[in-house]
Amino acid sequence: MNRFLQLFQNIPLKWRLTFSSSFLMFLTFILFSIAQYEILYNWLLDQEREAVIKTRDEVAAYYQQVNRPNQDIHIRDLENVLLKLNDKHQVIRILDRNHNIVISVSNEFQQQLAPADYPTIEGIEQFRYKGDDYLVTWEHVNTRSFQGTVEVVRNLTSFQDLIHIILLITIGFASATILISIVSGIIISRQYINPIKELNEDIMKIKEEGFQTRVKESKHEDEFKELTKIFNEMLERVEDTLQGQKQFVEDASHELRTPIAVIDGHLSLLNRWGKHDPEVLEESLEVCKTEINRLQKLIVELLDLTRSEAVIEEIDIKPIEITEVIEQLTKSFSVLHPEFEITCHTEVFGHQQVQISKHHLEQILLILLDNAVKYSLEDQRINVKVLKEENSIVLEVKDYGIGISHLEKEKIFHRFYRVDKARSRDMGGTGLGLAIAKRLVKKYKGTISVSNKEEVGSSFIVKFPII
Ligand SMILES: Nc1ncnc2c1ncn2[C@@H]1O[C@H](COP(=O)(O)OP(=O)(O)O)[C@@H](O)[C@H]1O
Ligand SMILES: [Mg+2]
């Protein structure tokens, strides 16, 4: 049995579905047919028995009633009555005490049966004689002038003919069911298998042609449609990720190439003739130093960006008192930029806690403060605010600098995106700060955006869910 199951599991799904569905259909029909045949057979046989008993009882009752000493009935009349009481394929006989036939009437009953040819017990009995089946019933008649038996024998040929026809019809239907169930099994399994086959082919195509290929979506509103939809969405994300990585490598190498090209240019210059000119030497060394600093910063920020995508360690995200951290950092930052008027206003009372690593929170605030300083003009004010909204703590960093146009509000969070490349470069920017901040904020299920309401300068708003 186990081996059979194993074999069955190894055949193609299409045939497994066909076999199992047709086998189940066939089994159901066969069981139903057997039950139907049994019930019909017993019911028809009961009908035959009842008919025989009924005739016997009627004859016996009649005989009992008429065969009294004062009523001298002619044998002919009795025969006529018995003929009327008789059914088709049936013989009625009256036997005397010595088993001699007194009267015998028959209706389409060919067989000449002698009483010794069948059982002689009271009640009803089925017996076989020369290839035919019969029902026989006896009843004793006891009147003052006559003692004997009434006997009814019924030939079951027509009953058996009927049963044979029923059996033939059942077998015919069963054979038709086998055929229908196999054909429908094939059709049903094909319906289920075809989408899988198509999906298989599409996946092979993706393997050969790459992630830009999509699988065909199922036309029907069923599970396959859902599956192909999810599969395509997944492909889209994989493609996006791959595209993003490719873009990132291109952008990063481009960013790295610029300072290296500048250094290379200056070194060639020095190599050719500049090293003997103290002024050129001085200037070139200065430029090289700046570019090397830029490279260092870029590498540090690239590492920060990669780290910001790494999974955070559980131990790192202890709840911290957000206002305290922000106030302290703002204070240290203003020491570094004495020309700026940096205020810190916290509207959060009590010990409001946010689940975030302290280092990450400081990193985010530093990126925003650094930008505020870099993109300010004459109005050198920066306001830091911490407020509480319904379910979140809001950190706001506002400056009165060059501002951000509506079109750029989303883009500035992309890696290496800078509104004014030259200005950012002059200020030592890499275009990675906000991308790092966004990733960090997202990690703690927070949001970061630029306010739309500003007329002067820009205002960055970071929201963290309260635990
Ligand atoms: N406070 C700000 N005011 C005006 N523009 C800003 C501000 N902060 C960021 N930006 C714009 O967003 C860009 C991306 O910022 P960021 O990712 O920090 O890169 P970087 O500062 O290194 O250029 C900046 O180049 C600048 O154009
Ligand atoms: Mg920046």
Which atom in ligand 1 lies closest to the alpha carbon of residue 418? Answer: 25
Which of 105-114, 115-124, 142-151, 371-380 has the weakest average pLDDT? 115-124
Q: What separation in Å is there between the alpha carbon of 398 and the centre of ligand 2?
A: 14
Residue nearest to atom 25 of ligand 1 (CA): 418
Q: What separation in Å is there between the alpha carbon of 348 and the centre of ligand 2?
A: 27
Burial class (CB in 10 A: 0-12, 13-18, 19+), 66: middle
pLDDT higher at 78 or 450: 450
- What average pLDDT is seen over the chain? 86
Element (H, E) at 385: strand 381-388
Kindly report, residue by residue over 424-436, the tens digit of the pLDDT: 888 878 899 999 9
Sign of CA dihedral 350, 352, 357, 359: negative
Q: What separation in Å is there between the alpha carbon of 342 and the centre of ligand 1?
A: 18
Please work out whether the CB of residue 429 comes within 6 Å of at least one atom of ligand 1.
yes
Q: How confident is the model at residue 215 (pLDDT cuts 50, 70, 90)?
A: confident
Q: How confident is the model at residue 313 (pLDDT cuts 50, 70, 90)?
A: low
Q: How confident is the model at residue 114 (pLDDT cuts 50, 70, 90)?
A: low
Kindly report, residue by residue over 141-189, the tens digit of the pLDDT: 877 777 888 888 898 888 889 999 999 998 898 888 888 888 888 888 8
pLDDT, average across residues 294-299: 91
Strands 341-346 and 381-388: parallel
Q: What separation in Å is there between the alpha carbon of 298 and the centre of ligand 2?
A: 11
- Give residue 296's pLDDT: 92
The number of the ligand nearest the C-alpha atom of 377 reads 1
| Nearest Cα residue to 154 out of 82, 43, 48 | 48
- Give residue 369's pLDDT: 96
Rounded to two decimals, the pTM is: 0.59
Which of 69-73, 338-342, 449-453 has the weakest average pLDDT? 69-73
pLDDT at 68 over 60: no
- Give residue 112's pLDDT: 73
3-state DSSP assignment of residue 144: coil
- Give residue 117's pLDDT: 63
Tokens, residue 278: 């103290």
Q: How confident is the model at residue 447 (pLDDT cuts 50, 70, 90)?
A: very high
- Give residue 328's pLDDT: 92
- Give residue 221's pLDDT: 83
Q: 157-209 vs 223-272: helix axis angle to the nearest 10?
A: 10
Q: Which residues surround the ion ligand 2 when the cut-off is CB under 5 Å?
A: 371, 433
Q: Ligand 1 pocket: which of 412, 427, 439 to mutate (most atoms <8 Å of CB)?
A: 412
Query: Which positions ≥6 away from 85 have C-beta within 8 Å?
Result: 55, 58, 59, 62, 92
The number of the ligand nearest the C-alpha atom of 410 reads 1
- Give residue 164's pLDDT: 92
pLDDT at 21 over 90: no
Percent of the chain with pLDDT over 90: 31
List beta partners, residue 295. Answer: none
Q: What separation in Å is there between the alpha carbon of 396 and the centre of ligand 2?
A: 16
Please work out whether the CB of residue 430 comes within 6 Å of at least one atom of ligand 1.
yes
pLDDT, average across residues 369-390: 92
CA atoms within 13 A on the CB side of 197: 9
> What does the radius of gyration of the chain's CA atoms come to, in whole angstroms?
52
